[in-house]
Structure 1
Amino acid sequence: MKIFLEERRRRPRALWRLLLQFALFALLAALFTSLFAAVWFVLGPRASPAAPDAGRLASSPALFLLSTLASLAATLLSLWLAGRYLDRRPFRDFGFCIDRGWWLDLFFGMLLGALLMSGIFLVQLALGWVEVVGTFSSDLPGVPFRTAILLPLAIFVCVGVYEEALSRGYQLRNMAEGLNHPALGPRGAIAAAWVLSSLFFGLLHFANPNATALSTLNVSLAGILLGAGYVLTGQLAIPIGLHITWNFFQGAVYGFPVSGLQSAGASFLQIEQSGPRIWTGGPFGPEAGLFDPVAVLVGCLLIALWVRLRHGKVDLLKELAGGPAGRA
């Protein structure tokens, strides 16, 4: 039984916790997605004879929102169940100790995501690789821009919360606990978990449309950036804020593809893009170009500076490699 259970805490070892939680998440996500799709099929707008229901369901931006809501619900429920029955820790320990400081860090993360993506856009604009061909565009027939823009906003909020809760709040923390052996120590375990969880985050995006080896590597580097705020504070405020506005400004403000997906619903700018694909990322979006590593480096430095100003020091939070009781 030692291969399955920790000796002192009588809970599954980290590897089994990770596998069980991810399997539970996948099962719940499939269940909620099917349920929401069935509701949309029954209650959603009727398709025309030229556009059968199956096509309407597959292409509907509203259904895309429902799928992200399903993933959000699956993530939060699976984390609560895993925390209660596998990890033996409260939900807040996954990075949700929400107080005034948490909201301040969230605001900083949102500002940082907007700043980094704006920098990528302005550089490409200055180089002549981006041309603005339209503004305030709505992709939803008969829906004004001011209403349509709420759709990508809701989608990117959901994505930012559930991907960070899953990838950083649960996976990175449990990897750090599992790797916390004398050979590595708490800091080494956190650093290794930071890298491994980021690589897994990149691989999860490999199936996206127009993905390449470079896009997968760059998304993994984005995982390093997103994880920086978590390993330095133990909270998900900075990663969630950064993730939301990075995606929102990328797709709904500047009109870039977001990880290979076109913006759903509306965008402030419509653009035509040229320039070397290795720099711009082409149809996958900026995350497949060489501007992405530069943004990651700048973002990590600014996060470290923010944490230094807020907490007086910059160091990996050793308690992330400890268990729910008697943390390191």
Structure 2
Amino acid sequence: MKYVNNGLRVCWIFFKTVLWELVTELISVIILTVLFTIKMLQLYGKNMNSRDISSYILHDLEYDPVFFGCLLILNIILILGLYVIYHRKEPDMLPFERKNCISKYIKGYICGLILFTLIWLISLGLGGFQVELIFKHGNLAMLCLFFVGYLFQGMSEEVLFRGYLYKRLNTFLPLPMVIALTSLLFAVMHLGNDGISVLAFINLIIFGVFTALIRYHSNSLWFIGAFHSAWNFTQGPLLGVAVSGNGNQQFVLFSKLSDATALINGGSFGLEGSLITTLILLVAIFAITKKFSCIEKLICK
């Protein structure tokens, strides 16, 4: 009976986690769609009919990088929602401690940038991409928009999965199962992304394990939230690689897929679907589980 009750509790917590994600994303999409449509009508109202408006909302907005950048920023709705609800009654739910928070955030961001750049350089050396410099002065505003956007997007996913979900499951399940379940749901939430593959799905699970281990050892969301933000910002806006299947975010470099196998460059899903990412993340997990002193100092102080 205990296992049945635990199973039902896991399903209920999973449902609430998915609901948090969907509701906050829906609210963000509605807000931005209304604002962008109003702006479009102000500019071209006299020349637009109902069919043009419908086409703009259903098709054009999806490929508007400004819309997508603003959508990333509105992930703050999820962060603030969970923080307001749980900060006072369950402060351990979202561990945003004040001590050394700036230091942890900066170290986490630098580590995310370095680790993904390393993966990209290995793939580039193996012929996975053809790289083109596309940065122009006009790209600077968009680069800043996506920088801020990914600050919130990366942290929001960590708040949801390594904050709320992790803590909820950890109240009645052993740690290995908590890490496995949070990592699995994290990967499942990406199943609708373009270019998803079996290896990409496995890598998302491994990434979830990696971040959950850092959450466990540091008991903080600052480091891993910054790491996740830097990981996404580096691969998309900086290096020009698809971010979990999401393209059209190249502002500095454009990493065009070569004829190399997807095991090298990840295909249309991006480098998160490559074997290189698998190996690098496994090495990182090994380093964390072995509790090397340098790793402990990095993530805990």
Scaled by the length of structure 2, the TM-score of the pair is: 0.83
Which letter maps to 1:70?
Answer: L
Cα distance change of structure 1 residues 205 and 24 upon mapping to structure 2, 3 Å threshold: closer
* 1:289 matches 2:265: no
Deviation at 1:148, TM superposition (A): 2.0
Which letter maps to 1:153?
Answer: F
Contact preservation (8 Å) 2:129, 2:265? no
Cα distance change of structure 1 residues 67 and 311 upon mapping to structure 2, 3 Å threshold: closer
CA distance in 1, matches of 2:104, 2:212: 14
Match in the other structure for 2:32? 36
Match in the other structure for 1:324? none
Match in the other structure for 2:95? 95
Match in the other structure for 2:75? 71
Deviation at 1:135, TM superposition (A): 3.2
Render the CA deviation track for 1:27-84: whole Å, top value 9, x for unaligned.
3432343123212211357468689532332221122123223333134314432566
Q: Compare 252-261 and 271-280 and name the one that shifted more.
A: 271-280
Match in the other structure for 2:56? 53
Deviation at 1:279, TM superposition (A): 2.5
Q: Which runs of 5+ in 1 are unaligned?
A: 6-12, 138-142, 180-188, 314-328
Match in the other structure for 2:105? 106
Deviation at 1:296, TM superposition (A): 0.7
Which letter maps to 2:204?
Answer: V
Match in the other structure for 1:158? 152
Deviation at 1:22, TM superposition (A): 4.3
Contact preservation (8 Å) 2:240, 2:253? yes
Deviation at 1:97, TM superposition (A): 1.2
Q: Which runs of 5+ in 2 are unaligned?
A: none
Deviation at 1:257, TM superposition (A): 0.7
How many residues align structurally? 286
CA distance in 2, matches of 1:80, 1:300: 32
Alignment of 1:180-259 (within 5 A): 189-259=174-244
Deviation at 1:16, TM superposition (A): 4.3
Identity value in percent: 21
Deviation at 1:298, TM superposition (A): 3.0
Match in the other structure for 2:116? 117
Render the CA deviation track for 1:257-284: whole Å, top value 9, x for unaligned.
11001143x4221222221112221111
Contact preservation (8 Å) 1:255, 1:268? yes
CA distance in 2, matches of 1:311, 1:210: 32
Q: Secondary structure at the match of 2:193?
A: coil
Q: Compare 66-75 and 244-253 and name the one that shifted more.
A: 66-75
Deviation at 1:307, TM superposition (A): 4.4
Contact preservation (8 Å) 1:256, 1:263? no
Match in the other structure for 1:62? 66
CA distance in 2, matches of 1:38, 1:160: 25
Render the CA deviation track for 1:115-143: whole Å, top value 9, x for unaligned.
11111121122223322223315xxxxx7
Which letter maps to 1:309?
Answer: K
Match in the other structure for 1:309? 297
Match in the other structure for 1:269? 253
Q: Secondary structure at the match of 1:267?
A: coil
Match in the other structure for 1:299? 284
Render the CA deviation track for 1:76-124: whole Å, top value 9, x for unaligned.
314432566xxx313x641211322x22222222121111111112112
CA distance in 2, matches of 1:277, 1:311: 32
Q: Secondary structure at the match of 2:74?
A: helix
CA distance in 2, matches of 1:307, 1:298: 12
Match in the other structure for 1:130? 129
CA distance in 2, matches of 1:114, 1:211: 23
Contact preservation (8 Å) 1:33, 1:66? no
Cα distance change of structure 1 residues 238 and 41 upon mapping to structure 2, 3 Å threshold: same
Contact preservation (8 Å) 1:25, 1:75? no
Deviation at 1:158, TM superposition (A): 1.7
Which letter maps to 1:110?
Answer: Y
> Where is the helix percentage greater, Structure 1 or Structure 2?
2
Which letter maps to 1:120?
Answer: I
